[in-house]
């Protein structure tokens, strides 16, 4: 590579990621969290608040970071009022609820993920089983369901009367938008937990966009897109238009920016600005990210003010909902 190409490469996000990988490989030990921090829990959207509170409870009772993230996310998956995650999630175009989830340990660099899972209300728990009971990382569709059943998960109807009615209303509306080329009605629970000693776990769970084409795979269950964790650099999670966001592998990009020395806030903003600059069509989409470094500093950003992000933070016993900064 000549010097000019090299400079351009370094200035690019891909170059940043590659260099960060080299720096990380040379790092001997994970960065330590601030000494007195205790657990720090960060999650997307106001529904992240009860998830954080559950996770804090799990950790106070001696549970692991993986327990905290799994049980925290379960609270949102179990809540039928949240129509974008787990039980009661809005279905695909055929009226079937298809769930996606993934979890990653920043200590072991292992992940577990499930994609297009039907009939099981807690995909994050199935994802964790994939990580801990198999040498696989991601399982999809029919195979993921069979695995879940073999692991003792109970199949059930995931449509509630409310989500069924929402689908019928959409289907019977002669002017309904197909959503093949549009994306509305979605959200996700993305969560990051730090034990206060610099160990990180990230997880994500969603029913994806409403009325999606069966078989669609968005960013949430894809490692590096919906979630990523590395004790040497930080963790991140994404929510928003997953068809667009997966093209930028947002969570991995943010973690690599933190590895380069950016604060979590700088990394979140830089990632979204890079998207907006290199793909101007993304300026108007919903694209939101959260991040935390091993010290427990946090960041959050949304692409624009049209789709603002509220996120939940639990630290030192204080549980709150905060507004993220729009970058445009
Ligand atoms: N990213 C999710 C998806 O596209 C939805 C969301 O987070 O709002 O399926």
> Ligand 1, residues 187, 204, 251, 309: which to mutate, most atoms within 8 A of Cβ?
187
Instruction: State the pLDDT at residue 88.
Output: 95
Number of the ligand 1 atom closest to the C-alpha atom of 219: 1
As its CATH architecture, domain 50-326 has: 4-Layer Sandwich (3.60)
Q: What percentage of the chain exceeds 70 in pLDDT?
A: 86
pLDDT above 80 (res 152): yes
Q: Name which residue leads in pLDDT, 205 or 325.
A: 205
| Contact call for residues 113 and 102 (beta carbons, < 8 A) | yes
Which residue owns the Cα nearest ligand 1 atom 8?
A: 187
Distance 225 CA to ligand 1 centre (A): 11
pLDDT above 90 (res 181): no
Instruction: State the pLDDT at residue 175.
Output: 83
Instruction: State the pLDDT at residue 8.
Output: 46
Number of the ligand 1 atom closest to the C-alpha atom of 239: 7
- What mean pLDDT is predicted for residues 310-316? 97
Instruction: State the pLDDT at residue 183.
Output: 59
Secondary-structure breakdown of the chain: helix, strand, coil percentages, each rounded to the nearest 5: 35, 20, 40
Which residue owns the Cα nearest ligand 1 atom 9?
A: 208
Instruction: State the pLDDT at residue 9.
Output: 37
Instruction: State the pLDDT at residue 328.
Output: 96
Residues in the chain: 328
Number of the ligand 1 atom closest to the C-alpha atom of 216: 9
Distance 288 CA to ligand 1 centre (A): 10
Instruction: State the pLDDT at residue 24.
Output: 54
pLDDT above 70 (res 312): yes
CA-wise closest residue to 277 among 94, 2, 11: 11
One-character DSSP codes across 78-92: H-TT-TTSSTT----
Number of the ligand 1 atom closest to the C-alpha atom of 209: 9
Q: CA-CA distances (angstroms) from residue 274 to 45, 239, 242, 269?
A: 23, 17, 16, 9
Distance 28 CA to ligand 1 centre (A): 36
Q: Is 13 helix (H, G, I), strand (E, B) or coil?
A: helix
Instruction: State the pLDDT at residue 186.
Output: 74
As a whole number of angstroms, the distance between CA 59 and CA 51 comes to 12
**Structure confidence by residue, pLDDT tens digits, 185-244:** 678 999 999 999 999 999 999 999 999 999 999 999 999 999 999 999 999 999 999 999
Extents of the domains making up the chain: 50-326
Distance 309 CA to ligand 1 centre (A): 13
As a whole number of angstroms, the distance between CA 129 and CA 113 comes to 9
- What mean pLDDT is predicted for residues 114-134? 98
Instruction: State the pLDDT at residue 216.
Output: 95
Q: What percentage of the chain exceeds 90 in pLDDT?
A: 84
- What mean pLDDT is predicted for residues 118-131? 98
**Structure confidence by residue, pLDDT tens digits, 5-58:** 434 434 454 445 545 555 555 544 555 555 446 999 999 999 999 999 999 999
Give the binding-site residues of ligand 1, using a 6 Å CB cut-off: 186-188, 206, 208-209, 218-220, 239-242
Instruction: State the pLDDT at residue 176.
Output: 83
As a whole number of angstroms, the distance between CA 162 and CA 176 comes to 18
Q: Is 22 helix (H, G, I), strand (E, B) or coil?
A: helix
3-state SS record for 62-81: CCCHHHHHHHHHHHHHHCCC
- What mean pLDDT is predicted for residues 76-101? 96
Longest distance between any two alpha carbons in the chain, whole Å: 63
180 contact partners, CB below 8 Å, separation of at least 6: 213
> Ligand 1, residues 84, 190, 208: which to mutate, most atoms within 8 A of Cβ?
208
pLDDT above 80 (res 84): yes
Q: Is 302 helix (H, G, I), strand (E, B) or coil?
A: strand
Instruction: State the pLDDT at residue 179.
Output: 66
Distance 72 CA to ligand 1 centre (A): 18
Which residue owns the Cα nearest ligand 1 atom 7?
A: 239
pLDDT above 90 (res 174): no
pLDDT above 80 (res 267): yes
142 contact partners, CB below 8 Å, separation of at least 6: none
Q: Locate tokens 């769970």: which residue?
A: 205
Which residues are known catalytic residues? Answer: 188
pLDDT above 50 (res 159): yes
As a whole number of angstroms, the distance between CA 240 and CA 64 comes to 28
One-character DSSP codes across 229-275: EETTTEEEEEEE-HHHHGGGTHHHHHHHHHHTT--HHHHHHHHHHHH
């Amino acid at each position: 590579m000549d010097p000019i190409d090299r400079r351009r490469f370094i200035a690019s996000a891909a170059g940043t990621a590659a260099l960060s990988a080299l720096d990380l490989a040379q790092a001997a030990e994970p960065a330590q969290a601030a000494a007195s921090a205790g657990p720090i829990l960060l999650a997307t959207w106001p529904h992240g608040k009860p998830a954080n509170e559950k996770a804090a409870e799990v950790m106070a009772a001696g549970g692991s970071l993986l327990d905290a993230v799994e049980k925290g996310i379960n609270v949102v998956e179990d809540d039928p009022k949240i129509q974008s995650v787990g039980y009661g999630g809005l279905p695909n175009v055929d009226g079937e609820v298809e769930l996606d989830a993934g979890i990653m340990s920043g200590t072991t660099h292992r992940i577990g993920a499930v994609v297009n899972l039907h009939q099981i209300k807690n995909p994050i728990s199935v994802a964790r089983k994939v990580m801990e009971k198999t040498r696989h990382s991601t399982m999809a569709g029919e195979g993921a369901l069979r695995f879940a059943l073999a692991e003792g998960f109970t199949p059930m109807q995931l449509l509630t009367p409310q989500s069924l009615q929402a689908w019928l209303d959409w289907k019977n509306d002669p002017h309904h938008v197909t959503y093949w080329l549009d994306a509305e009605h979605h959200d996700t629970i993305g969560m990051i937990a730090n034990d206060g000693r610099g160990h990180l776990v990230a997880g994500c769970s969603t029913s994806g966009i409403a009325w999606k084409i069966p078989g669609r795979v968005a960013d949430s269950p894809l490692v590096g897109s919906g979630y990523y964790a590395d004790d040497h650099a930080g963790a991140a999670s994404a929510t928003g238009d997953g068809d667009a966001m997966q093209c930028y592998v947002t969570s991995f990009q943010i973690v690599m920016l933190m590895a380069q020395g950016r604060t979590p806030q700088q990394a979140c903003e830089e990632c979204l600005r890079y998207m907006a600059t290199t793909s101007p069509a993304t300026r108007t989409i919903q694209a939101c990210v959260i991040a935390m470094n091993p010290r427990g500093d946090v960041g959050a950003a949304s692409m624009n003010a049209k789709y603002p992000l509220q996120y939940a933070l639990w630290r030192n016993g204080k549980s709150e909902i905060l507004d993220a900064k729009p970058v445009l």
